[in-house]
Amino acid sequence: LPVTAVLALTTPVAVTFDAVAGFAYVAAISMFLGFFPWYAGLARGGIARAGQTQLTQPLLTLVWAWVLMGERFGPATVAAALAVLVCVAITQRART
């Protein structure tokens, strides 16, 4: 926090349309509109089971980055994503 405070006081602020639009998207769409489906899913699937699916978000982020933006990933990234997926699958099988 001290470093952030110093940087906030010494760095000029550039408020651009892109920055405001990005902030508005995160505030309105991601937070508020995502809130309702997430908690509806928790209610339907149970907190323990649905909470485990949240662990797949890094993998899904990589997949969407590849599909939508053409991102390329190295072997370490792919191995880590697969390890997360295997761990989630193991926990799901243990609960059933």
Residues 20 and 39 in one domain: yes
Q: What is the pLDDT of residues 30-81, one digit of tens each?
A: 788 888 888 888 888 888 777 777 777 888 888 999 999 999 999 999 898 8
Count structural domains, the chain: 2
For the chain, what's the residue count?
96
Residues 39 and 64 in one domain: no
Residues 52 and 27 in one domain: no
Residues 36 and 59 in one domain: no
Please tell me the predicted confidence (pLDDT) of residue 79. 92
Ordered alpha helix ranges (H), the chain: 2-10, 17-25, 34-45, 47-53, 57-69, 75-95
Residue 12: give the domain boundaries. Answer: 1-45
Neighbours of 91 (CB within 10 A): 14
Q: What is the pLDDT of residues 3-33, one digit of tens each?
A: 989 998 999 888 999 999 999 998 888 788 8
Residues 51 and 89 in one domain: yes
Confidence band of 91 (pLDDT split at 50, 70, 90): confident
Confidence band of 94 (pLDDT split at 50, 70, 90): low
